[in-house]
Structures are given as C-alpha cells and as structure tokens.
C-alpha cells in the first residue's frame, strides 16, 4: 500500500514538474483507455483476439515546433529587471556612500577649525569627492548631493582665502 502511494505521488509530482518547466504536457493517463473491444472495425486475423487496430493509423502525427514556455520567458524577464534594478540600486548606494563621506569630511573640517589644526589631505579628499559627481538615478539623492557639494565648495573656498591671507 505504501509503495503504491509513493509511486502515485511521484508520478503526480513528475506531471506537475513537466508542466511547470514547459517540456511536455501530459493530458491523461497512460493511454490504456484507447484500447477496447473491436466494434465493427478491422478484425485481427485470429478470431480469438478481441482487440482491434484503430482505422485512423496514418503514421506519426506531425508535431508543431517547440514554443518557448511563457514561464521561462517570465523568468528571463524577471532576471533582466533585477539586473536593471541592481544597476540602479548600485548607483544609489554609491551616491549615498559618497554623500556620507563628504559629510564626514565636512565634520572633520569643522573639528579641525575648532582645534586649530586642519590637515590638507582632508581638503584634498573633499575637493575630489565634490568634482566626481555622478547621477544616482534618484532626484532626491542627487539634490542632496548637490547641496552637500555646494557646502563643501564654500568651505574649501573660505579656507583657501584664509590661507592666502595668512601666507
């Protein structure tokens, strides 16, 4: 009993798997319902036989060309969309990282001004980040980055002016 149930569930799973992957479509059982008693058709030579050959045996049916499964097409479309989304997400992530780095450097500038020691490397990094502005694809992020960049340029200009006046 257990073995028959396991076999039936395996066959049921195989039918679903084959339909899902679009390889083959199983429309019925194993074809046993096509065999029956002869009913006026061609009889076999032996009179003891109760089976007949169907009259419509015209050879193998011509199969239509294979069609791409809509499920496979949907999966490939989904993967393509994820690739686009990953590219956009990557640009946003990179822009946010750059904005955070600029804010950190502006904080170092503030702390350096308060302490009276401001390394030139901080200004160099800040200038480099301001000049390498890339679009992130998100208008809000781009607007925030431009505001941070403007603030950084103002601070750099003030520090350059102070250094020229002192030196």
pLDDT 10s digits, 132-147: 878 888 889 889 888 9
Name the nearest CA neighbour of 22 among 68, 64, 63. Answer: 68
Residue 6 buriedness (CB in 10 A; 0-12 / 13-18 / 19+): exposed
Using the Cα atoms of residue 36, residue 39, residue 42 and residue 44 in order, give the sign of their dihedral: positive
Please indicate, yes or no, if residue 36 is contained in any of the structural domains: no
Sequence-ordered alpha helix ranges (H) in the chain: 2-21, 70-115, 120-131, 139-166
Average pLDDT for 37-56: 56
Task: Confirm whether 69 is domain-assigned.
Answer: no
Residue 80 within a domain: no
The pLDDT value recorded for residue 116 is: 84
In a domain, 117, yes or no: yes
Give the residue carrying structure tokens 């899902």: 20
Q: Structural domain of residue 157, as residue ranges?
A: 86-166
How many domains are contained in the chain? 1
Q: Residue 18 pLDDT more than 60?
A: no
Residue 97 lies in a domain: yes
Confidence bin at 40 (pLDDT 50/70/90): low
Q: Residue 162 domain-assigned?
A: yes
Question: Residue 66 domain-assigned?
Answer: no
Q: Which residues of 87-118 are buried (b: 16+ CB within 10 A; e: fewer)?
A: eeeebeeebeebbeebeebbebbeeeeeeeeb
In a domain, 47, yes or no: no
Number of residues assigned to the chain: 167
- Overall pTM > 0.85: no
């Amino acid at each position: 009993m257990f073995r028959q149930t396991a076999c039936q569930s395996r066959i049921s799973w195989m039918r679903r798997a084959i339909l899902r992957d679009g390889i083959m479509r199983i429309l019925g059982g194993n074809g046993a319902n096509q065999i029956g008693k002869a009913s006026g058709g061609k009889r076999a030579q032996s009179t003891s036989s109760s089976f007949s050959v169907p009259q419509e045996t015209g050879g193998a049916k011509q199969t239509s060309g294979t069609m791409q499964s809509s499920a496979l097409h949907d999966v490939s479309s989904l993967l393509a969309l994820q690739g686009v989304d990953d590219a956009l997400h990557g640009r946003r992530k990179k822009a946010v990282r750059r904005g955070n780095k600029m804010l950190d450097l502006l904080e170092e500038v503030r702390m350096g001004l308060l302490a009276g020691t401001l390394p030139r490397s901080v200004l160099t990094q800040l200038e480099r980040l301001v000049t390498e502005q890339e679009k992130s694809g998100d208008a809000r992020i781009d607007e925030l980055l431009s505001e941070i960049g403007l603030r950084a340029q103002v601070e750099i200009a003030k520090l350059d002016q102070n250094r020229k006046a002192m030196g």
